[in-house]
Amino acid sequence: MAKCKKIRKRFDDINVIPFIDIMLVLLVMVLTTATFVNQGIIPIELPSAKTATKEDVKKEVTVYVNAKGELFIEKEKVDLKTLEIRLSAISKEQTVVLRSDKESKFQDFVNVMDILKRLNHEQLYIITKENQ
């Protein structure tokens, strides 16, 4: 008579591939929804109030440095001293966007960065063009 031997299979490792697939799908859903909310694509109906006042607060201030080294704030030509005065008048939480021409001197860029650092502005975007 032949003896039957039971074979036991040990589960030493766990297949995590399905878990990773689910997490990636959830990540894509969260990122997609966050992008829509950020860009205002998802329509929402805001509540109204009788005492509400409309404030015209700009979300960002743009500083330009052209190829000649001329400075502009919101398309108005300024010098370094005027730029510093204008930037000191805005809130530290307000975003500053810096658009510097690729032909401008690096020193002009550094001058603007120095003013922003001195005024403790930390919300800064430097705009570049994508290489194609």
- Domains in the chain with CATH codes: 60-126 (3.30.420.270)
pLDDT of residue 9: 66
10 Å CB burial of residue 87 (0-12, 13-18, 19+) is buried
Q: How is the beta sheet containing 60-65 ordered, strand by strand?
A: 76-78, 71-73, 60-65, 95-100, 124-126
pLDDT of residue 24: 92
Tokens of 45: 């109906």
- pLDDT tens, position by position, for the chain (132 residues)? 566 666 666 666 778 888 889 999 998 888 777 765 555 454 555 556 666 555 555 578 888 888 888 888 888 889 999 989 998 888 888 888 888 888 888 888 888 889 988 988 888 888 766 555
The model scores a pTM over 0.75:
no
pLDDT of residue 50: 62
pLDDT of residue 51: 61
